[in-house]
Amino acid sequence: MIRFANVSKKYNDGFQALKNIDLELESGKIHAIIGPSGCGKSTTMKLVNRLIKPTSGTVFINNDDISKIDPVQLRRKIGYVIQNIGLFPHMTIADNVAAVPRLLKWDEQKTQTKVNELLSMVHLDPSIYRDRKPRELSGGQQQRVGVIRALAAEPEIILMDEPFSALDPISREQLQNELVNVQEELKKTIVFVTHDMDEAIKIADNIVLMKDGEVIQVGSPDFILRHPANDFVKDFIGKDRLREQQEIPTVKEVMTDNPATAYPERGLAAALKLMEQRRVDSLIIVDQRRKLLGYTPILNVLGHYQDETKTLGDVMLPFTYTVEPDIPFTVALEYMSQHNLPYVPVVTGEQRFVGIITRGSMVRLMAEVFPIEEIFPNGEVV
Amino acid sequence: MTFLKEVWTYIKDNLDMILIYTGQHLLMVLFGVAAALIVGTLLGILCNRYPKVAPIILSVANIIQIIPSLALLALLMLYFGLGFYTVVVALFLYSLLPIIRNTYVGLQQVDRSITEAGHGIGMTYFQLLTKVQLPLAMPFIMAGLRIAAVIAVGVATLAPFVGGDGLGREIFSGINSRNDIRIYVGAIPASILAIIADLSLGTIERRLKI
């Protein structure tokens, strides 16, 4: 666990980079420190490996005051990945990865095994890449090496300073995914500085939002999206993302709960009359306990209309797809568009019929989410 | 044609002496430049480590470079007397500037992100210097060494003025006896030495480039 206790940092030029930071970063999690430029996020991170000394306050790692630990020894136990990758250009990939184990005077055999293992982990075949120089690799591959160099000496804590922001979007996406995968296995305490909210939401277990040297809000990505602490957080997250995150309504909230239903014993003439009354082209067939049996489209009713002995039960068709009331509405929509259904019945356990989702339900919902005033501010409805 | 023939006969007749002169010449250059390489690299490292002293060190080295070589030799003679070491000291002083400057520039051009990474993964200042910064600055340092060596071979021909030896002896004898053949016999090996130094150090410099 990393703990900042009342930490302030004032640079020599008088710039107050951090103001009384109190923060606890739990072990085994990815913590994204995020905020606009100059908010103190990098400064906060660099306090951990003593690249920056606080003006006042204390930083603890597992309750040890780090100002009492030799900075060189401290840094060898903390992985460090920087934005500009910073591989040593005159060393081979293997030597770059082996840098920290060698500083720690690991047994050479053990170092080499570790290097090969790590290269394989990030899908760089050791037999091909070991002896290459960094400049022979693409930017994405170089930063993979940068990440595994930080992992090589098996540190508990890894600091990453905007590690993927200089990469092209495809490599960035891949590296983010790989980081999440690697983390699932290794469970390191990762302090990840970024200015990209999408990145933070994607990889972090915990987000620390900073502004002007202060911590504004701390919480899981989900918590921050659902409960932004103030307007700054809302702005920083962005309207679009908040809207996305607005709770998706459940099927129950959107469904039509009084569609035209009929018992299977009803005759076809009566059924036709009911359809006419309710202005629908099919009836949902349920039994007395409202168990869903099937449906009859108007064409089936008309097709057997001459036969007075037939009832709805004889001409009805079964439903192939049903949905439950507590699933998100979008899942029902997905079904409808996949199977090209005009509507889908909603049933609870034991096939009890409670309502239907139609295309009309979707239109109504859209009207609620995007109120007309927003699109036509002057009320001009064309 | 007859002239070349005369030069050739002279060389054949005096080969031993010419070889001795060349050896002496080379020795002075080696001593002077090697001392400058050690001291100059250290001063260059100092310039990089303490930006405040960099302008002082570089200006002093610049001023030394500006003093005409003959005057410098004369001045040094006042303190060190006549002989081999006076020349070596002069060559040392002349070689300092290119080596200090190139070491300094070489260390400065090491990408900040690389030094930051080295620092961040827990290298001490000394480890960072020897494992990262100096290897990366090596092509620059070699370029400085190359310039210094070529200058030194030239300056060393002035050695006889302060009682030194080397190929300058042949040139001065030629001047004194108005014998142009002897001047050539001194000048040509000196030029060849300069060219060899330039080419061989140039090759090493290219090899060291990453």
pLDDT digits (tens, 9 = 90+) for A114-135: 999 999 988 899 999 999 999 9
pLDDT value of position B105: 94
The residue ranking higher by pLDDT, A102 or A37, is A102
Write down the mean pLDDT value for chain A.
Answer: 86
Residues A285, B131: Cα–Cα separation, whole Å: 82
Helix B2-13 / helix B180-208 crossing angle, nearest 10 deg: 80
Asked if A49's CB is within 8 angstroms of B123's CB, the reply is no
Residue A109 amino acid letter: Q
Residues A23, A217: Cα–Cα separation, whole Å: 10
Complex ipTM: 0.78
- Judged on CB neighbours under 10 Å (0-12, 13-18, 19+), A232 is middle
Mean pLDDT along residues B23-40: 94
pLDDT value of position B7: 84
β A2-10/A16-25 pair status:
antiparallel
Q: Which two tokens stand for residue A274?
A: 């009911």
**A85, A90, A133: best to mutate for the B interface, most B CBs within 10 A:** A90
Between A and B, how many residue pairs show a Cβ–Cβ distance under 8 A? 64
β A30-34/A206-211 pair status:
parallel
**Alpha-carbon torsion angle B107, B112, B117, B123, nearest 10:** 30
Distance in Å, alpha carbon of B10 to nearest chain A alpha carbon: 51
Partner-chain residue, chosen from A82, A88, A133, that has the shortest CB–CB distance to B120: A82
Distance in Å, alpha carbon of B33 to nearest chain A alpha carbon: 27
pLDDT value of position A240: 66
Predicted confidence band at A344 (pLDDT cuts at 50, 70, 90)? confident
Of chain B, the percentage scoring pLDDT greater than 70 comes to: 100
Distance in Å, alpha carbon of A208 to nearest chain B alpha carbon: 23
Residue A87 CA from chain centroid, whole number: 30
Look at residue A79 and tell me whether its pLDDT is greater than 70. yes
Contact between residue A74 and residue B105 where contact means Cβ atoms under 8 Å apart: no
Distance in Å, alpha carbon of A205 to nearest chain B alpha carbon: 25
pTM beyond 0.80: the answer is no
Look at residue A256 and tell me whether its pLDDT is greater than 60. yes
Contact between residue A343 and residue A330 where contact means Cβ atoms under 8 Å apart: no
For B125-167, the pLDDT digits (tens) are 999 999 999 999 999 999 999 999 999 999 999 888 888 888 9
Look at residue A375 and tell me whether its pLDDT is greater than 70. no
DSSP state of A356: E
Distance in Å, alpha carbon of A43 to nearest chain B alpha carbon: 14
pLDDT value of position B5: 86
Residue A5 amino acid letter: A
Predicted confidence band at A340 (pLDDT cuts at 50, 70, 90)? confident
CATH architecture of A2-245: 3-Layer(aba) Sandwich (3.40)
Residues A298, A286: Cα–Cα separation, whole Å: 17
Contact between residue A292 and residue A284 where contact means Cβ atoms under 8 Å apart: yes
Write down the mean pLDDT value for chain B.
Answer: 91
- HEC string of B106-158 equals HHHCCCHHHHHHHHHCCCCHHHHHHHHHHHHHHHHHHHHHHHHHHHHHHHHHH
Residue A357 CA from chain centroid, whole number: 28
pLDDT value of position A244: 61
Chain B positions in Cβ-Cβ contact with residue A79 (cut-off 8 Å): 121
Chain B positions in Cβ-Cβ contact with residue A49 (cut-off 8 Å): 120
Residues A315, A268: Cα–Cα separation, whole Å: 9
Mean pLDDT along residues A201-216: 92
Partner-chain residue, chosen from B113, B119, B127, that has the shortest CB–CB distance to A85: B113
Residues B32, A288: Cα–Cα separation, whole Å: 111
Closest alpha carbon within chain B to A75: B122
Look at residue B52 and tell me whether its pLDDT is greater than 80. yes
pLDDT value of position A126: 92
Asked if B116's CB is within 8 angstroms of A149's CB, the reply is no
Residue among A347, A349, A340, A321 nearest A251 (CA): A347
DSSP β-bridge partners for residue A189: A157
Residue among A161, A175, A153 nearest A77 (CA): A153
Of chain A, the percentage scoring pLDDT greater than 70 comes to: 93
* CATH 3.10.580.10 is held by the domain A251-366: yes
- Helices of type H across B50-83: 54-66, 69-80
Residue A37 CA from chain centroid, whole number: 23
Q: Domain ranges in chain A?
A: 2-245, 251-366
Phi, psi of A356 (to 5 degrees): -135, 155
Look at residue A311 and tell me whether its pLDDT is greater than 50. yes
Please tell me if residue A365 touches chain B, with a CB cutoff of 8 Å.
no
Asked if A76's CB is within 8 angstroms of B121's CB, the reply is yes
pLDDT value of position A382: 46
Residue among A191, A186, A215, A218 nearest A203 (CA): A191
pLDDT value of position A343: 84
Domains of chain B plus CATH, in order, are: 2-208 (1.10.3720.10)
- A355-to-A90, A335, A352 alpha-carbon distances in Å: 70, 16, 10
Please tell me if residue A74 touches chain B, with a CB cutoff of 8 Å.
yes
Please tell me if residue A99 touches chain B, with a CB cutoff of 8 Å.
yes
Please tell me if residue B121 touches chain A, with a CB cutoff of 8 Å.
yes
Distance in Å, alpha carbon of B114 to nearest chain A alpha carbon: 4
Residues in CB range of B186: below 8 A, 6 or more apart: B21, B157, B167, B168, B169, B170, B171, B172, B173, B174
Predicted confidence band at A242 (pLDDT cuts at 50, 70, 90)? low
| Side-chain-side CA neighbours of residue A234 (13 Å) | 7
pLDDT value of position A239: 66
Chain A positions in Cβ-Cβ contact with residue B123 (cut-off 8 Å): 72, 103
Closest alpha carbon within chain A to B135: A90
**A45, A83, A88: best to mutate for the B interface, most B CBs within 10 A:** A88
